[in-house]
Amino acid sequence: MSVTYSGPALFDGSRLHSAGTLTVADGKITDSAGTETVFLEGGYLLPGLLDLQVNGGGGHMIGGATGPADLDRFCDTHARLGATAVLPTLITDTDAANASLIDAGARCRHPGFLGLHLEGPHLDPRRKGAHDPALIRPMGEAELMRLCEGRKRLPALLTTVAPEAVTPEQIARLTAAGVIVVLGHTDCSHDVARAAFAAGAKGVTHLYNAMSQLGHREPGLAGAAMTSGLHCGLIADGHHVHPTAMRVAMAANPEGLYLVTDAMAPAGTDLTEFTLGGRRILRRGGRLTLADGTLAGADLTLPQAIAMMVTQVGAPVETAFAMATARPAALIGRGDLGHLRPGARADFVHLGPDFSLRGVWRAGERLV
């Protein structure tokens, strides 16, 4: 049986069509006419959303004890929030935790599992954010080889590093091995950042946050990132970045910004607090913070981030949709995702006129 969905405007990954249809057969998108028609009321149909920085959900954080079954549940939790595919993210941890998670990822077969994001431990403690400074350390040869070998076992491996802890030569070796390197949690200068980009770094993690800022004499990593034309992750919750600063980023790098949630354990739950490395994290007013007020991840979904970009930042709808679909797919080299085209897996979402989540489909099966 094939099903044709009609009613909403259709974003195909490149363009927004005010009127269009989407036909699904055997879990894939087809250009043939469907044998059944389903009308969906208003709003938008667009490819399944992709989240490349997601640290927790369903009450649990990604950690060294996370196993393949945990990753399955993690992917399902975020699919119900609109992200049909994710990069589970481990923030700064021990060598043993990194190795264990890579092994679990290598055994995960969930269709929503894109690979892993290791955010640290090779960062600058001056820009630690909520990361444990006792675990931050420079990259050694053994750790570099673990990442290179881990990439062979995973669909994708992205790592956030600081130039203070990783040399350009190491970035070049990681890139040659297929590891996606991005910069973050660093106080590096504009010129040092540019050198890291020249060595192979593809962009930055959570633009503006935990990095050297844009100044008129020293543009810092923020300035280098926004004028590089490279990929810049953005936490569009209104707390991590002010809407005006988002507008500046859009003007400077109109094609490079993509949305992430930086979600933590409370995602998909009604939890009001949890612990991270023995520290209490509070969930209040759409924010997650340490007791001292330091932001510790975000209380955000991708549909909410899209709404923020359109209603508060003024981004065109087409651009905001691309920031959660085609652009993150391009960063990790997954041209089969982020678009609604014949032959692609039928992962898609229905958003209302206000960008609220109305439905999620994975391989043509409705989840929400």
> In terms of DSSP bridges, do strands 231-234 and 365-366 run parallel, antiparallel, or are they unpaired?
unpaired
Which of 262, 270, 299, 354 is an active site residue?
262
User: In whole angstroms, what is the distance from residue 246 CA to residue 313 CA?
Assistant: 7
Q: Identify the three-state secondary structure at position 3.
A: strand
CA distances 59 to 67, 114, 189, 257, 289, Å, are 15, 21, 38, 29, 16
| Amino acid (one-letter) located at 352 | G
Residues 329/264, Cβ–Cβ less than 8 Å:
no
Q: 33 burial class (0-12, 13-18, 19+ CB within 10 angstroms)?
A: exposed
> In terms of DSSP bridges, do strands 28-30 and 36-39 run parallel, antiparallel, or are they unpaired?
unpaired
User: In whole angstroms, what is the distance from residue 326 CA to residue 50 CA?
Assistant: 8
Q: What is the DSSP letter of 263?
A: B
> Is position 354 annotated as part of the catalytic site?
no
User: In whole angstroms, what is the distance from residue 108 CA to residue 113 CA?
Assistant: 7
Length of the chain: 368
Q: Which residues contact 141 (CB under 8 A, 6 or more apart)?
A: none
**DSSP letter string over 94-114?**
-HHHHHHHHHHHHH---TTB-
Buried (b) or exposed (e) across 209-229, using 16+ Cβ within 10 A? bbbbebeeeebbbbbbbbebe
User: In whole angstroms, what is the distance from residue 81 CA to residue 75 CA?
Assistant: 10
Q: Catalytic amino acids?
A: 262
